[in-house]
Amino acid sequence: MPSPDGPGQIHTLGVKVSTGQSVTIPVRFFADGPMATWTVFAQGENLTLAWDSSQGNDGDVRQLTITRTAPSADGGSILTFQSTSGSLQNFWFTFVAN
Protein backbone atom coordinates (compact mmCIF):
# COMPACT_ATOMS: atom_id res chain seq x y z
CA MET A 1 0.00 0.00 0.00
CA PRO A 2 1.36 3.47 -0.85
CA SER A 3 2.62 5.46 2.10
CA PRO A 4 3.03 9.22 2.51
CA ASP A 5 6.57 10.33 1.75
CA GLY A 6 6.19 14.06 2.35
CA PRO A 7 3.84 16.81 1.14
CA GLY A 8 2.33 15.86 -2.22
CA GLN A 9 4.36 12.64 -2.46
CA ILE A 10 3.60 8.96 -2.05
CA HIS A 11 5.79 5.88 -2.16
CA THR A 12 4.82 3.36 -4.86
CA LEU A 13 6.23 0.42 -6.79
CA GLY A 14 7.61 1.08 -10.25
CA VAL A 15 9.55 -0.35 -13.16
CA LYS A 16 12.55 0.80 -15.23
CA VAL A 17 12.29 0.96 -19.03
CA SER A 18 15.13 2.50 -21.04
CA THR A 19 14.48 4.40 -24.28
CA GLY A 20 13.76 1.97 -27.12
CA GLN A 21 13.27 -0.95 -24.71
CA SER A 22 10.12 -2.81 -23.64
CA VAL A 23 9.13 -4.47 -20.38
CA THR A 24 6.00 -6.56 -19.78
CA ILE A 25 4.41 -6.41 -16.33
CA PRO A 26 1.49 -8.34 -14.81
CA VAL A 27 -1.52 -6.27 -13.73
CA ARG A 28 -3.86 -8.03 -11.30
CA PHE A 29 -7.54 -7.08 -11.28
CA PHE A 30 -8.92 -6.63 -7.76
CA ALA A 31 -12.41 -5.89 -6.47
CA ASP A 32 -13.56 -5.78 -2.86
CA GLY A 33 -16.99 -7.09 -3.83
CA PRO A 34 -18.94 -8.62 -6.70
CA MET A 35 -18.99 -6.61 -9.93
CA ALA A 36 -19.34 -7.05 -13.67
CA THR A 37 -16.38 -7.31 -16.05
CA TRP A 38 -14.46 -4.06 -16.22
CA THR A 39 -12.04 -2.35 -18.60
CA VAL A 40 -8.65 -0.90 -17.74
CA PHE A 41 -6.82 1.86 -19.64
CA ALA A 42 -3.25 3.08 -19.12
CA GLN A 43 -1.37 6.17 -20.26
CA GLY A 44 2.01 7.74 -19.64
CA GLU A 45 4.29 10.35 -21.17
CA ASN A 46 6.81 9.00 -23.71
CA LEU A 47 5.40 5.48 -23.38
CA THR A 48 3.65 3.13 -25.78
CA LEU A 49 1.38 0.75 -23.87
CA ALA A 50 -0.12 -2.52 -25.14
CA TRP A 51 -2.42 -4.92 -23.25
CA ASP A 52 -2.88 -8.62 -23.97
CA SER A 53 -6.49 -7.91 -22.94
CA SER A 54 -7.88 -4.78 -21.30
CA GLN A 55 -10.94 -6.43 -19.73
CA GLY A 56 -11.22 -8.72 -16.76
CA ASN A 57 -12.71 -9.64 -13.40
CA ASP A 58 -11.50 -9.93 -9.82
CA GLY A 59 -8.39 -12.12 -9.68
CA ASP A 60 -7.60 -11.98 -13.39
CA VAL A 61 -4.05 -11.07 -14.42
CA ARG A 62 -3.43 -9.15 -17.64
CA GLN A 63 -0.06 -8.39 -19.21
CA LEU A 64 0.89 -4.78 -20.02
CA THR A 65 3.86 -4.19 -22.33
CA ILE A 66 5.51 -0.82 -21.74
CA THR A 67 7.82 0.62 -24.42
CA ARG A 68 9.72 3.86 -23.77
CA THR A 69 9.75 6.10 -26.86
CA ALA A 70 11.87 8.92 -25.34
CA PRO A 71 13.36 9.85 -21.97
CA SER A 72 11.11 11.83 -19.62
CA ALA A 73 11.95 14.68 -17.28
CA ASP A 74 12.35 13.96 -13.56
CA GLY A 75 13.86 10.55 -14.28
CA GLY A 76 10.76 8.89 -15.73
CA SER A 77 7.03 8.91 -16.38
CA ILE A 78 3.97 8.62 -14.18
CA LEU A 79 1.89 5.73 -15.46
CA THR A 80 -1.82 6.33 -14.86
CA PHE A 81 -4.31 3.47 -14.82
CA GLN A 82 -8.07 3.94 -15.10
CA SER A 83 -10.54 1.12 -14.58
CA THR A 84 -14.16 1.48 -15.65
CA SER A 85 -17.25 -0.64 -15.06
CA GLY A 86 -20.49 1.13 -15.99
CA SER A 87 -20.39 4.52 -14.24
CA LEU A 88 -17.79 3.38 -11.67
CA GLN A 89 -14.23 4.62 -12.28
CA ASN A 90 -11.05 4.09 -10.29
CA PHE A 91 -7.56 5.51 -10.84
CA TRP A 92 -4.15 4.40 -9.62
CA PHE A 93 -0.59 5.36 -10.42
CA THR A 94 2.91 3.96 -10.63
CA PHE A 95 6.26 5.19 -11.96
CA VAL A 96 8.23 4.12 -15.02
CA ALA A 97 11.88 5.19 -14.61
CA ASN A 98 14.03 6.06 -17.66
CATH fold group of domain 11-30+37-97: Immunoglobulin-like (2.60.40)
pTM of the prediction? Answer: 0.86
pLDDT at 11: 74
pLDDT at 1: 41
Per-residue confidence in pLDDT tens, the chain, 98 aa: 445 566 667 677 789 999 999 999 999 999 988 889 999 999 999 999 999 999 999 999 999 999 999 999 999 999 999 999 989 899 999 999 99
pLDDT in tens, 4-16: 566 667 677 789 9
pLDDT at 76: 96
Domain ranges within the chain, ordered by starting residue? 11-30+37-97
| H/E element, 36 | none
pLDDT at 4: 54
Reported for 18-24, long-range contacts at CB under 8 A and 24+ positions apart, including other chains, are 18/68, 18/98, 19/68, 19/69, 19/70, 19/71, 19/98, 20/67, 20/68, 21/67, 21/68, 22/65, 22/66, 22/67, 22/68, 23/65, 23/66, 24/63, 24/64, 24/65, 24/66
